[in-house]
Amino acid sequence: MRLRGHKAGKSALPMGSSLGRWYASGRLSGGKMIVGQKILDQGLVVNGSRECLKNSTYDLTIGEIFPMGKVAAKKRAKGARSRVHYLEPREMIWVLSHEEFGMPLTVTGLATLRTSLTNQGLLALNVGIIDPGFAGPISTALINFSDRPRRIAVGDKFFRIVFVEHDDVKDFNKSPENTERVKYGNEIESFAYSDFSRNFLNVPDFDDDFYYKRFWLILWSGLTRNWYITLAVSFMLMTTVWFAVEDLKIHKFYCNKFFELKSILTNSTPTTPPAISPPVPQQGQ
């Protein structure tokens, strides 16, 4: 997807590529990078802060958060704006920059996602070129590819912007893609409401809670739709349980009788009479 003044491209800058060599040397085909305070002095970044200047780049910050889905869009329509959002695994949101750009026809910008976000498992769908002559904010869609929620807040730094100066491109700039913040925000609102799902690629969360709900849903559906089968199975089950209980009672009854009979036989065993010794003959008799 290409947003206004913002062309989709690769976020990585391999050092073996021409762009990587340009980034390492600061030059590309005779052009040169604009760094430090000059970024603000030349008005390349509007509403910018000196604290966001880092080495040869500018760190863009989040100005607005657009959670996905109809429920979130309706809350925003009522004035509920999210300043902090916990991005769930595989969830996607849109963010709009706080700063705006005022790009002359002699400067091109390159936006890449900050390493601190990629290390957390976050990915930006649209990163790339900021066109010469572009004026306005830029946005991106963030996706959480990690297995835990990630905190996203207004004021967080999300893009690093590189500015490179080059020859005037007025002969090739036939259709400027400038935009106003309010209008652009409404467009993003439309994306968040209808064009995308809350979960990336509509992948459900296959956790224990998912399988638990699915099991009871299937069971209830089977019981209500095929009631006659359910009734027959229930009758057979209750009959089986009744016979099992009765069999257990009978077994217990005969076991008790067996032990009673055994006790009686044990207690009535005749005792052996004492042995009688034969008379001993006496002398003289």
Residue-wise pLDDT tens digits, 181-210? 888 888 888 877 765 666 655 555 555 666
Torsion angle in degrees (nearest 10) through CA of 68, 52, 3, 91: -20
Break the chain into its structural domains and give their ranges.
Answer: 6-202, 210-259
Q: Model-level pTM greater than 0.75?
A: no
> What confidence tens digit (pLDDT) does each residue in 247-272 have?
888 888 888 878 888 788 877 655 55
E strand or H helix that includes residue 262: helix 227-267
Q: Which tokens is 25 given?
A: 């040397």
- Position 269 scores a pLDDT of 54
Q: How far apart are CA 95 and CA 70, in angstroms?
A: 17
Q: How far apart are CA 123 and CA 125, in angstroms?
A: 6
First CA to last CA across the chain, in angstroms? Answer: 140
- Position 184 scores a pLDDT of 87
**CATH code linked to domain 6-202:** 2.70.40.10
